Chain A
Amino acid sequence: MVNTKVDLCGITLDNPIIPASGTFGFGYEFAELYDINILGTFSFKGTTKEPRFGNPTPRIAECSSGMINAVGLQNPGVEKVISEELPKLKKCFDKKVMANVSGFSVDEYAYTCEKLDKCEQVGWLEVNISCPNVHGGGMSFGTDPEAAYEVTKAVKSVTKKPVILKLSPNVTDIVAIAKACEKGGADGISLINTMLGMRIDLNRKKPIIANKMGGFSGKAIFPVAVRMVYQVSSAVDVPVIGMGGVSCADDVIEMMLAGATAVEVGAQNLVDPFACKTIIEELPKAMEKYRIENLKDIIGAAHNG
């Protein structure tokens, strides 16, 4: 019998598979399809202080082996997430959930995290710093080590739950950002968020997405994600969650060899709603194939020698 259990910041996951934020809603669309308690956990839709409609449509464009989205963090706001979404989730999910948080100022991040800190169901806070800082000229928190440090520190001061900083890949030096988060007290790092991209409609001769640019994700970005997970996991001591283009059990193993303690699956859930269930079912077979008994033993194995 193979063992798929891993430890993520002090909480044991039955397996390292975590549907990524923004591709799994608040869980119940998928709970209609399969028992979502088979998941390691999942990261719910990016939540902000105030409710948000997000960007105008079209918000979606197809790419070779991937897609671009510019949803713009549509969510009901932290108040309603706590009063409506979490109670609904409780009916179909017994495990601790990962709360994904976004903000447009350091105070907003802290506000939202402080609220979610009080929720029994929330196991981890995953802080998405790919958002523009309204006080920083619109530059994203995740592209500036100083801002990333500030957000981490502010969030750490309002919660006892493990804080995982989710990094944007749209930077020159991902290691510098990861280290700044670690210095600020991050309990973990997750990466990668989507890569900035654009598609243009040849008939209309205009960008397909109303917002012009959006976040590129899906299978196509897997090699970039593996490289960044490898770089970051060798530079920090906290656990790393790997994601970006993961679509099968082999990808999960590759991410873990690169240094990931757990693995998130994003866009693949949208095109194959059973993607995570299938990966979880195939993982033991893949482990046998690659002669892995204990999944946690391979974390970062590609760094050795």
Chain B
Amino acid sequence: MTLQEIQEEIISEFDVFDDWMDKYEYIIDLGKELPIIDPLKKTDDRLIEGCQSKVWLDATVVDGKMQFTADSDAIITKGIIGLLIRVMNEQSPEAVATADLFFIQKIGLQEHLSPTRSNGLIGMVKKLKMSALQALNA
């Protein structure tokens, strides 16, 4: 699936919820599917400092496709990074670097993009894209 299609898929999954708590329950569940980073790779250079929760992210390129693993000490953050990785995983570095992540707004998570929320969603997106750019320049 393309990055576009995966985002459409996520949007339709979220469409069924009209209660915020149900939405977050689903996000929490998604966190459990997050491809977890090798604990040995939880080093400072892989740490994205959000103000409140910590996120570690590792990126590799296998056969020209991006592969991400991550973890966080907060469960909701794990769910959110899980969503991002679901969209970006197995995509080409070009696609990741130039991705327009319209699903964030559509499923109502844009509040996590505001700097005051500071849970590092902005940092996560930046880091995901930076790693794709590095892969391109490598």
* A, B: real partners: no
| Residues of A bordering B, CB below 8 Å | none
